[in-house]
Amino acid sequence: MRKIKLKLLCLLLVPFALFLHYLFSIYPHASESFYSLTLNKAFIQSLSKITGLFPFSLSELLIYGIVPLCVSYIIYILWRLYKDTKSWHKILLHFILNTLAALSILYFLFMSMWGFNYLRPHFGETIGIDITKHSTFELAELYTYLIEETNHLSEQTSRDKDGYMVITNGYRSVFERAHLGYNEAAKLFPSLAGNYGRPKPILTSEVMNYTGIAGIYFPFTAEANVNISVLDLSIPATTMHEMAHQRGYANEDEANFIAFVTCKLHPDIDFKYSGYLLALTHTAQALAQDNPSLLQELNRNLSKHVIEDIGRNHAFWKQYEGKVENISSKMNDAYLKVNGISDGTKSYGRMVDLLLGYYTVYVKE
């Protein structure tokens, strides 16, 4: 009876988390002050340092380990039901309570360890950027600027015998140097400061390609995990994206924008180029929806290296398209919507609004 009471008590964690969610949604600046920039930030830094002692991704082990564990538990319950048909209702009741209690604990841990960051004020708001819609002219002006910068950087990057961008010392050097971009960005935006564990490679990166995922932040271990089988040109920007999540910026458009800024301010060319390519790609997608003919006209200014890098990256992901990628995309879309991002995966595109605001405030002036 005591065990049942304990399980029922665990179920109360869900309404308690929902209550806190409601309070933070009403007072987002309280979420920023009392959660994101204080308690949660200190917790993530400490946890990431502990998990960072391991050279491999603990989160990857947990993700792949949970599946056989759940299957084994279900098989065990089915075996008990088969052996003890008279007590089937008690066995089933305990199974349901155990499952609900476990899910309640996981949900509460997720929200308390990271999930409330979805309710903090938008990063653009905190740094004084206007993220309202802009005109086609402003979008074209931004795209022209990105083309010029990306073209210039492409000439300075290391390239293989086929002319494609490569990282000279491999992905591990990216993980070792990534913090330098955040150190520079923190001088402008103090909320990005902090001492966190290094990003980690995903051992099953090739498998992850079929999901279309380039990286994942795992709140339960505070690890920024990066797919290392993708092209070199995207590894620095992806690393910075996951590190933005590690710093408590949950929204995808914010993480993408922070990835651009930290790459732009990074002292190394490979980071700068990767960040500008990320911004260029998203801006091109926005301009394609707004004025396709203007996009085609401006694309004539892209350099040979940039065109080849973008084409190769497109071809790389094209080969992994299929049912798994579609399912993964739908699951990610549902996850974002559950956490209050009403437009789901389309929110990635809102990065362009941040880029336009940043360009107006920090580049043009």
User: Could you please report the per-residue DSSP string of 145-168?
Assistant: HHHHHHHHHHTTS-B-TTS-B--T
Give the CA diameter of the chain: 78
**Residue 235 · residue 309 · CB < 8 Å:** no
Model's pTM, two decimal places?
0.89
Give me the residues paired with residue 165 across strands.
Answer: 159
Percentage, residues of the chain above pLDDT 70: 91
Radius of gyration of the chain (CA): 23
pLDDT one-digit tens code per residue, 61-75 = 998 888 899 889 889
pLDDT-derived band at 2, boundaries 50, 70, 90:
confident
**Residue 329 · residue 346 · CB < 8 Å:** no
Please state at what angle helix 292-299 crosses helix 136-154, rounded to 10 degrees: 30
* Type of residue numbered 81: L
- Does 326 have pLDDT greater than 60? no
- Does 341 have pLDDT greater than 60? no
pLDDT one-digit tens code per residue, 32-45 = 999 999 999 999 99
**Residue 189 · residue 166 · CB < 8 Å:** no
Higher per-residue confidence, 128 vs 303: 303
Q: What is the Cα 226 distance to its own chain's centre? A: 10
pLDDT value for 117: 95
Q: 200: helix, coil or strand?
A: strand
Query: Please, what is the Cα angle at 182 between 181 and 183, to 5 degrees?
Result: 90
User: Which range has the worst mean pLDDT, 65-69, 82-86, 154-158, 236-240?
Assistant: 82-86
User: Which range has the worst mean pLDDT, 26-35, 84-93, 192-201, 231-240?
Assistant: 84-93
269 backbone dihedrals φ, ψ, rounded to 5°: -65, -40
The alpha helices in 52-87, defined as continuous H runs, are: 58-83
